[in-house]
A and B are shown apart, each in its own frame.
Chain A
Amino acid sequence: MPILTRIFKRSISYLTLIIIALVGIFPIAYLFLLSTKRRIDIGDVPPSLKIEWAVVVENYKEVLFDRSYISSTVNTLTITSVVVIISLIIGTPAAYALSRLKIKGSERISSTILSLRFMPPVAVAIPILLSMRFLHVANNRIGLIIPYVAFSLPLVIWILIGFFDEIPTEIDEAAEIDGASKWRTLMQVLIPLVRPGIVVAGIFAAIFIWNEFLVGMYVIDSESLKTVPIADAGLISAQRPIDWNVAATVGVVTLIPLLIGSMAIQKHIVQGITAGAVK
């Protein structure tokens, strides 16, 4: 009897696990399925699981080429790499200093930087538009890159502070005894050690850019300069009717880079998500 109860309990647990997995993945899978349908087949309930490759090719061709998601994706990748590189170049030394050096008011500086992460983006969208106009970079990639670096920095710094904190201080003390300067200690000793942190911080900055459209909509007007999320916001928002198969395909094209990115940092995602504030 106890064995039976145990088997019963186990089965309930596994059933729950399967349900949790389904609730998490089902909406995403449904989107993938819709992106393989003809427009007239969208109304079938439940949708057929048979996939016609000709239809798939047609849907994706329309989104990637006719609606120029290929060029939006390339554009987003370009902007993402520039933003990530600048954020890491500025953010890594700052995170090192805040984690390691005894700076007056270092706690206050760290918490002020973190507080910027919680500011409502609607509060800065208009000033950013006006500032970018003033700098003559509105409706220009630079006009996106400048604010995106500002949005990414607090996140990058906080994630990296967490990673720097995990390296024993003995390591940099040893380097200092050998006469290395702070910069050299950082560049030659510590950066190789926090490399996983740099990857995580970079990917989180990238995820931010693939989800941001509020400031983007203010700054960018030209179709050709829009990033994928800005194009999405115009194309598939609740306001605008669109063919569902095309909309679903747009959704899938948007999600794929994000899904790849999240797989790459599965292990460190906790640290990234809470911006390095939890250990």
Chain B
Amino acid sequence: MNKISNSKSFLLRHETKTLIGPAIVYLGLFSVFPLLYSLGISFFEFDRVAGKWNFLGLGNYKEILSDKTFWSAIVVTAVMVGVALIVEVVAGVSLAIFFGQKLKGSKFVRAILITPMILNPVVVGLMWRALLNPQWGLFNWFIGLIGIDNPPIWLADPKWTLWTLIFVDIWQWTPFIFVVVFARYQALPTDVFESARVDGASPLKIIRYITLPLVSSAVVFAAIFRGIDSFRTFDLVYGLTFGGPGRSTTTLSFYSFENGFVYYRYGFSSALSYIMVIMATIGFTVLLKWIPVRRTH
């Protein structure tokens, strides 16, 4: 009896390994290893002419700390993530409550709303560069209709470019917050709202004292999730502004890309991106606390 159960548990252990082993080995080789490799590279400098790697120790990191563009990229990234996130959360939650009315046709509009976030970011950039074109873009024509003449040159005036980038990010990603919060909102038991209504609570009070507290954990989760993603955004910057004009929209991610891909400064680029890895890991650790417990049954 004992023998049988022993051999059985051995088999089970073996099965587990064959089920999950390939994924772990693959991710170890092609996901975790590159991350460690990148840490290694960050201590070197790539001499493109000689094709050699020179050891610098902490040299790249020291250079980064005294690099003006790095600090401006920190500010640009922080403003972008912060402002976009606040607007996306407010707008996304409002949308979720609005769609809670279940108007006719709202299902169809929801399907439209979901579209922006799956679109190719270079094409999203192109789309908005067309809309915001100073000569013929339809956006300026439209705001001209409601009385705003002489609008700024959205994508060329360094005073405005970061705000334009944030605006497009909001257009593309508010739906994400909406989708997550709305899913939670729909899963709430309806009797709570019913009884509040019967007790004569006003719609605003219901939102303030019942809806918002009940969806708050979904809101926090969606916000952290989006925050980390927005922090590592590179592609929209590439598609919309290419980091410019000047350094006005150079985010950390873009700065790292530029050093690696354009200037072949592999070590410097890796050191920059490693600072991002550490920040993203901190963000993820916070996120982990907010992931809803999976197995409910």
| Interface positions of A (Cβ within 8 A of B) | 13-14, 16-17, 20-21, 23-25, 27-28, 30-31, 34, 42-47, 90-91, 93-94, 96-98, 101, 103, 109, 111, 113-116, 118-128, 130-131, 146-147, 149-151, 153-154, 157, 161-162, 165, 168-169, 181-183, 186, 207, 210-211, 213-214, 217-218, 229, 232-233, 236-239, 244, 247-248, 250-251, 254-255, 258-259, 261-263, 266, 269-270, 273-274, 277-279
- Are the C-beta atoms of A103 and B119 separated by less than 8 Å? no
> Would you give the shortest CB distance from A181 to chain B, in whole angstroms?
6
> Would you give the shortest CB distance from B253 to chain A, in whole angstroms?
5
What are 9 A-B interface contacts by the 8 Å CB criterion? A31-B127, A103-B16, A120-B276, A122-B269, A122-B276, A125-B260, A149-B30, A213-B235, A217-B261
Please report the C-alpha to C-alpha distance between residue A212 and residue B271 in the assembled complex, in whole angstroms: 22
Those of B212-250 within 8 Å (CB) of chain A:
218, 221-222, 225, 228-229, 231-232, 234-235, 238-242
Given contacts A233-B122, A255-B120, is CB(A122)–CB(B273) below 8 Å?
yes
B98 within 8 A of A: yes
Given contacts A115-B281, A121-B234, A238-B240, is CB(A126)–CB(B41) below 8 Å?
yes
Residue of A nearest to B108 (CB): A21
- Are the C-beta atoms of A96 and B118 separated by less than 8 Å? no
B15 within 8 A of A: yes
Q: Is the interface of B mostly helix, strand, loop or mixed?
A: helix
> Would you give the shortest CB distance from A209 to chain B, in whole angstroms?
11
- Are the C-beta atoms of B225 and A274 separated by less than 8 Å? yes
* Contact residues in B for A103 (Cβ distance below 8 Å): 16, 20
- Are the C-beta atoms of A113 and B27 separated by less than 8 Å? yes
From B60-68, B79-87, B192-200, B289-297, the one touching the partner chain is B289-297
- Are the C-beta atoms of B138 and A273 separated by less than 8 Å? no
Please report the C-alpha to C-alpha distance between residue A114 and residue B113 in the assembled complex, in whole angstroms: 26
Given contacts A94-B24, A238-B238, is CB(A31)–CB(B123) below 8 Å?
yes
> Would you give the shortest CB distance from A261 to chain B, in whole angstroms?
8
- Are the C-beta atoms of B38 and A124 separated by less than 8 Å? yes
> Would you give the shortest CB distance from A206 to chain B, in whole angstroms?
10
- Are the C-beta atoms of B180 and A274 separated by less than 8 Å? yes
Please report the C-alpha to C-alpha distance between residue A96 and residue B256 in the assembled complex, in whole angstroms: 37
* Contact residues in B for A182 (Cβ distance below 8 Å): 12, 15-16, 19
Those of B90-127 within 8 Å (CB) of chain A:
95, 98, 101, 103, 105-106, 108-109, 111-127
Please report the C-alpha to C-alpha distance between residue A93 and residue B17 in the assembled complex, in whole angstroms: 10
- Are the C-beta atoms of A248 and B273 separated by less than 8 Å? no
* Contact residues in B for A146 (Cβ distance below 8 Å): 30
Q: Which of B125, B128, B180 contacts A278 (CB 8 A)?
A: B180
* Contact residues in A for B274 (Cβ distance below 8 Å): 123
Instruction: List 5 additional A-B contacts (Cβ < 8 Å) besides A16-B98, A94-B24, A118-B232.
Output: A24-B109, A43-B135, A94-B23, A211-B118, A278-B292
- The residue in A13, A17, A157, A261 that gathers the most chain B C-beta atoms within 10 A of its C-beta is A17
Question: Across chains A and B, which 5 residue pairs bring their CB atoms closest together, nearest first?
Answer: A94-B23, A127-B37, A150-B30, A123-B273, A127-B34
- Are the C-beta atoms of A123 and B27 separated by less than 8 Å? no
Q: B158-201 CB contact bits vs A (8 Å, 1 = yes)?
A: 00000000000001000110011011100000000000000000
Please report the C-alpha to C-alpha distance between residue A179 and residue B250 in the assembled complex, in whole angstroms: 60
> Would you give the shortest CB distance from B225 to chain A, in whole angstroms?
7
Please report the C-alpha to C-alpha distance between residue A111 and residue B291 in the assembled complex, in whole angstroms: 10
Please report the C-alpha to C-alpha distance between residue A211 and residue B172 in the assembled complex, in whole angstroms: 14
- Are the C-beta atoms of A24 and B112 separated by less than 8 Å? yes
* Contact residues in B for A254 (Cβ distance below 8 Å): 120, 122-123
- Are the C-beta atoms of A118 and B283 separated by less than 8 Å? yes
Please report the C-alpha to C-alpha distance between residue A118 and residue B280 in the assembled complex, in whole angstroms: 7
Q: Which of B15, B260, B273 contacts A183 (CB 8 A)?
A: B15
* Contact residues in B for A123 (Cβ distance below 8 Å): 34-35, 38, 256, 270, 273-274, 276-277
- Are the C-beta atoms of B136 and A45 separated by less than 8 Å? yes
- Are the C-beta atoms of A46 and B141 separated by less than 8 Å? yes
- Are the C-beta atoms of A45 and B15 separated by less than 8 Å? no
Please report the C-alpha to C-alpha distance between residue A113 and residue B20 in the assembled complex, in whole angstroms: 12
Please report the C-alpha to C-alpha distance between residue A239 and residue B244 in the assembled complex, in whole angstroms: 10
- Are the C-beta atoms of B114 and A269 separated by less than 8 Å? yes
